[in-house]
């Protein structure tokens, strides 16, 4: 699982708006909005992509 703040962090570190993150993950912008407001949780392929993006952030900061 990823928390809403982790999802926002992934997006903001790239300078993306919700629409840009949605396009990279393969979902609609309303879905990203629901994730960021804790009204829904990312699952399946979307969660894997978000985790990969998060891990690439961590690797780049070491």
- Residue 16 backbone phi and psi in degrees, to 5: -95, 150
Q: Residue 60 pLDDT more than 70?
A: no
Q: What is the DSSP secondary structure assignment for residue 29, as one 8-state letter?
A: H
pLDDT tens by residue, 35-59: 999 999 999 999 999 999 999 987 7
Average pLDDT, the chain: 94
Q: Where do the domains of the chain lie?
A: 4-60
User: Is-contact 36 7, C-beta < 8 A?
Assistant: yes
Q: Does 3.30.1390.20 match the CATH number of domain 4-60?
A: no
User: Stretch 5-18: mean pLDDT, rounded?
Assistant: 98
């Amino acid at each position: 699982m990823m928390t809403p703040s982790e999802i926002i962090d992934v997006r903001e570190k790239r300078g993306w708006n919700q629409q840009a993150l949605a396009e990279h993950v393969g979902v609609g912008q309303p879905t990203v909005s629901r994730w960021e407001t804790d009204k829904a949780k990312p699952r399946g392929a979307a969660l894997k992509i978000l985790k990969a993006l998060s891990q690439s952030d961590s690797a780049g900061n070491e």
